[in-house]
Amino acid sequence: MDPGESREPPEAREPGPGAEPAVAPRWKEAKTFNDNLAPKKKPKSLGTRGSAPPREGSLWRADSTWQSGSEAPAEAPRSQPKPQNAVTIAVSSRALFRMDEEQRIYTDQGVEEYALEAVNKRLRELYPDSEDVFDIVLVTNNHAQVGVRLINSINHYDLFIERFCMTGGNSPICYLKAYHTNLYLSADAEKVREAIDEGIAAATIFSPSRDVVVSQSQLRVAFDGDAVLFSDESERIVKAHGLDRFFEHEKAHENKPLAQGPLKGFLEALGRLQKKFYSKGLRLECPIRTYLVTARSAASSGARALKTLRSWGLETDEALFLAGAPKGPLLEKIRPHIFFDDQMFHVAGAQEMGTVAAHVPYGVAQTPRRTASVKQAPSAQ
């Protein structure tokens, strides 16, 4: 029989004299189990953050015109993309849900599954047979029994998440490469460090301090430069020798590309999807927009950053050089769905302005904290 060919289940035979009652056919048991996974109630109507339903201005569905109180438009069945072709974002269950309150927080935090699915819808319209789309994998170290609860929650909120990784207490990091993960988001900083050590783009996600309305038509992703897209080479010079030596170093090495940082690969994946819109003449209407938001000064050290991106065959739609000024006010204007930075000072500033911030624990800025934790270990015994 060919894969996928339907087959009628065999009829249950009547038990013979003296035989025990027949056990229900296995296909009926499977059907009963699957029926129990179905949502018990329809998705809630639009609301505000905190109550978990969608907030105004978010891309909560592939069809963003759907409104509360109306029937959701029928969609054609969506096939699962092959992992090696998709841009895969692995999300921990704690980043997606408040497990203790059964409230959804990941979509409230910014890089919503619905925002990604909105981009997917545009891609499918332009390239019906393409598998170059966003895909989400739910990752948890909970036991498989928790899976039923998670599946019910995903169905309740009408999320399109088909791939799960439930590791029963073991770290899920070793599975990320097998899932072809392009980005791992978690609320567990240690797991994020493990992922980065394995060469996987990863960040610890933090909720914003207040609500903001984000774009309904464009997924916006903002990146810091040093120790995020680039290596921490330049930051090491600042810490060791000061700003004057840093400026001299950047001028002398302006034409030498910086080494790549932990999130270079994710920017590359976003750029691959953007080029599919560009090739259709939709550069200005592209539903993905990227930003470089850096504390570098344009005149003294900005050229090397831009030339590095060019040498990689990459670009960001906007490059914003702040010369040491706070990033929060500018992020308030951009209103990205997520902002990546390696320093908690900038993460906190982004949170205050209502931006979902993701901390990238990489580079020299993290060294003192790691060293301190190692020194405390003996006294803790």
Give me the catalytic one of 224, 226, 341, 342.
224
Structure token pair of residue 234: 């330049």
For residues 178 and 336, what is the distance between their CA atoms, to the nearest angstrom? 29
Active site residue 244: no
- Give strand ranges (E) for the chain: 87-92, 97-98, 103-104, 134-140, 163-166, 181-186, 202-206, 219-223, 288-294, 318-321, 338-341, 357-359
The widest CA-to-CA distance across the chain, in whole angstroms, is 96
SS3 17: coil
- HSE-CB at 209 with a 13 A cutoff on CA atoms is 9
SS3 250: helix
For residues 298 and 305, what is the distance between their CA atoms, to the nearest angstrom? 9
For residues 172 and 144, what is the distance between their CA atoms, to the nearest angstrom? 13
Q: Exposure pattern of 214-241 as b/e (b: 16+ CB <10 Å)?
A: bbeebbbbbbbbbbbbbbbbbbbbbeee
292, 225 contact by CB (below 8 A): yes
For residues 171 and 173, what is the distance between their CA atoms, to the nearest angstrom? 6
> How would you class 74 by CB atoms within 10 Å of its CB: exposed for 0-12, middle for 13-18, buried for 19 or more?
exposed
Beta bridge partners of 293: 320
Name which of 112, 292, 106, 265 is nearest 195 in CA terms: 265
Cα angle: 376, vertex 378, 381; to 5 degrees = 110
Query: Catalytic residue numbers?
Result: 224
